[in-house]
A and B are shown apart, each in its own frame.
Chain A
């Protein structure tokens, strides 16, 4: 079942908020995981694990380094669901 971009963003924001303690409202498309959200590699992999579960997709490890921003992740998940 495919989600809309907005649904993916909201779902991802919940995962990021759980992991980091940030407010979901701070998890915006243009935010960088490392520079803006201060997410380290272990946290990023935790977020990926939860995102795979939530959205029913596979995010290969070699793809994770290409997911610089929240928007990149939303786009990847959207494409993977298609």
Chain B
């Protein structure tokens, strides 16, 4: 018998640096491809940007959206809509009362390209030339609002903001909406479109970006001894979450269930993770307890691992602290090595990867780890995908954000 508290994943959608949909993104991830590329523009000469590459989106949304849609939506909303339409169709376009349908799509930064374009227009051409759609394009809840409009979601439309944990927090909130009885179906995910010289300059100023300009595809290398920072990525991922009862009643195909949600905050430093990992351990422990599984059940972790010196190791120490000897049988994947860091989209695409991993019993690889950091404390999936065991299994997706936000989601086989 299915419990009303059980939440399952029935649809997946994505547009990422690896591909314009889930199938191409997942195929590229299993093949160990990199989405990073040299930027074909003059930003380095013009602004003195120290970084000349990023993980740009593979398929321009202009190829799949109408012209008015691309003019009315910031790229962050465009990516979200592309991913949401795919996820919705993938779920079989569920028949659901709009009052029982929610939308939770987060962005870490919001419509930053619209904000900056609007400022350029104001300064260069004056207020009379500013476009009337500027405000609805720049607001960080715009992607969620457009997804709500697209499917008629009236049970609530939300956009939780927690920097690089935003996408995972959105999925977690969607789970809570279904569990609490507010909704039967929620379209949830994350998006980001911040590849612009200002955010690139700002991240470079914070000394968190890789500057491996001569070899962009090797730049994102979580756990490698020569890692030197993250690679800015962009894109969106969306999951259709549904109560198990609702999914069963309509005979929906179920990929996996989201069994546990764990949230905590460090209250330690505005950007650095607590080196003790107390908050990370707490988030993972809450998620495991919430799912009703034990350390022995965890077979796979999609790590937050951004390819920074400090962050990568803190997380693996946290996993070891939590799981103890059981960490020996965890297959750890750092998919940002391939996608780059999607910021507000990261927690969503990595949740999607964890769902695919559990559904297909295949952990995606981590690339560019030529010399694993000797302090890495968990078995790493390198270069080739690794098989997950049969039977009942659980995976964790970890997402952490500037501000000390920790989100852990437990994904289990259906």
Contacts and interface: CB of A to CB of B under 8 A. Distances in A.
Interface of A: 18-21, 42-43, 45-46, 49, 52-53, 58
A19 B66 CA distance: 10
Interface string B119-132: 00000000011111
B71 interface: yes
A23 B66 CA distance: 12
Given A18-B71, A21-B67, A46 B133 contact: yes
At the interface, is chain A mostly helix, strand, loop or mixed?
A: helix
A33 to B, nearest CB: 14
B68 A21 contact: yes
At the interface, is chain B mostly helix, strand, loop or mixed?
A: helix
10 contacts: A18-B68, A18-B71, A20-B68, A21-B68, A42-B132, A42-B136, A45-B132, A46-B131, A49-B128, A53-B129
A18 B67 contact: yes
A3 to B, nearest CB: 20
Interface residues of B, number: 11
Given A18-B71, A19-B71, A49 B66 contact: no
Nearest to A41: B132
Contacts of A18: 67-68, 71
Contacts of B133: 42, 46
A20 B67 CA distance: 8
Nearest to B66: A21
Contacts of A42: 132-133, 136
A67 B20 CA distance: 42
Ranked 3 nearest A-B pairs via Cβ? A45-B132, A21-B68, A42-B132
A68 B128 CA distance: 22
A52 B132 contact: no
Given A21-B67, A49-B130, 4 more contacts: A18-B68, A18-B71, A43-B132, A49-B128
Contacts of B136: 42
Contact of B68 (A19, A49, A52, A58): A19
A19 B133 CA distance: 11
Contacts of A49: 128-132
Contacts of A58: 128
A64 B411 CA distance: 54
